[in-house]
Amino acid sequence: MMVEKDNEECYMVQFIEDLKRVYNGYKRKYGKVAFYMIDICDFNIYNYVFGYEESDKLLNDFFKRLNNILKKKAYLIRFTGDKILVIATFVDEIDIIKIEKQISRICEERFVLNGQEVSIKIKVGISFQGIKEDNLMLNLKYSDIALNYVKKHSRSEYIFFEQYMYDRVLRKQKVSSEIRNALENGELQLFYQPQIDIRSMKVYGLEALIRWNHPKLGILSPAYFIDVIENNGMINDVGKFVLSESCKQIKRWHSLGYTELCMSINIAESQFYDNNFLDFVKLIISKAEIETKYIIFEITERVIVQLNKSKVNLINEIRKLGIRIFIDDFGIEYSTLNYLYNLPVDGIKIDKCFIDNIQNSKKDLIITKTVIDLAHELNLDVIAEGVEKKEQLDCISHMQCNKVQGFIFQRPICSTEVDNFLKKF
């Protein structure tokens, strides 16, 4: 094993030395140098379908065609996995984009893999000398960061590195190291957003929303940390905390006389892949001594469309307990009404993106009305979330959507503030 490690270290040393030689040579001769980090999209699919040897031939074919086009202008090297690094000279950003377009045009050509024609799509992260300082390793790092960013957060084929991308990486690293102790230290807490029945103008439910009470930064929304805990494996533990705490809280409000209040709880995708999830749900419900008809699990469309037979069975088992299942953010990702016919759900929450401009957009108005009418036809509950303005509320009311959640009534608040809100509303 040591021999393999030594060989790997020797390879990396030689790899860096080669890059330095090329980089310094290009600088001396041409002055300006750009880095293009290229990745073939979904390359793992080729690996799985055609095998690693065949897919490697595809990568080599792409590399050769790229080299034929750019060999007089650039230096190419296979970086790691399916990544290809191109080092090229330029005069201005227009030159950089011209080279990217040449790279892109290769994807329009015919590729054959194991006798079968396949199409190729790529993503490109670009960094160039002068973004921050003239440094090989920095520009190499920045092009890789830009590539990761464009793969995860952009529909564009390429993107230039910008400082905010690196800041995002640093923030994630910092959050990841700090949040591991946040649950144990009691820094994670629940806020609740009231849900209103506008026919009776009564609070019929609350949605439990996780917040991080950071010792230095104060209250942080999930946008600051949710992607980190999804990636570092904490999401299931946090999900268990949310379920346990929200059930205790709804039991307390019932005991105070608000006996018809419902609690909506967001369930993460990974929780459906936890074999012990159903047993944990039963345990928490039993401990809280709460009637399950007052519990709603909210899951996203993404979870719904990826459900296999065993996960559909899990949802059915949850519903047998008396817990209702709602689709959260309905319409934002897949926007197909077919799910409402075929899947075991009890209600939907129309995403805020349709509500935001409903008073001005005929298209949003028609879509929203269609979804509401269909939900009623299928005997499903329907909630409009993200309602902030009176005009939006009027539109929703005219469509016979009686359940509303949004800033127009109340932002998410802590449990003590909920007590006051319930008394005054």
pLDDT of amino acid 3: 36
Instruction: Give the pairing type, strands 111-113 and 122-128.
Output: unpaired
pLDDT of amino acid 168: 87
Which own/partner contact pairs does 165-173 have at CB distance under 8 Å and 24+ positions apart?
166/142, 169/145, 172/227, 172/228
Cα(354)–Cα(88) distance, rounded to whole angstroms?
A: 45
Token digits of residue 281: 């749900």
Contact 301, 330 (CB under 8 A): yes
Cα(350)–Cα(340) distance, rounded to whole angstroms?
A: 13
Cα(364)–Cα(361) distance, rounded to whole angstroms?
A: 5
pLDDT of amino acid 309: 77
3-state secondary structure of 3: helix
Q: Residue 367, Cβ neighbours under 10 Å: how many?
A: 16
Q: What angle do CA 104, 110, 111 make, to 5 degrees?
A: 95
Instruction: Give the pairing type, strands 218-220 and 202-214.
Output: antiparallel
pLDDT of amino acid 389: 94
Q: Residue 303, Cβ neighbours under 10 Å: how many?
A: 19
pLDDT of amino acid 177: 84
pLDDT of amino acid 420: 96
Residues in the chain: 425
Contact 415, 190 (CB under 8 A): yes
> pLDDT below 50 — which residues of the chain?
1-5, 131-132
pLDDT of amino acid 302: 75
DSSP string, 173-190: HHHHHHHTTTTTTT-EEE
Contact 76, 84 (CB under 8 A): yes
Which own/partner contact pairs does 45-54 have at CB distance under 8 Å and 24+ positions apart?
46/113, 46/118, 50/113, 50/114, 50/116, 51/114, 54/113, 54/114
Of the chain, the end-to-end C-alpha distance in Å amounts to: 69
Q: For residue 155, count CB atoms less than 10 angstroms from its CB and return exposed for 0-12, middle for 13-18, buried for 19 or more.
A: exposed
Alpha helices, DSSP H only, in 106-257? 136-153, 163-179, 226-232, 235-255
Cα(155)–Cα(109) distance, rounded to whole angstroms?
A: 21
Cα(422)–Cα(425) distance, rounded to whole angstroms?
A: 5
Cα(220)–Cα(242) distance, rounded to whole angstroms?
A: 16
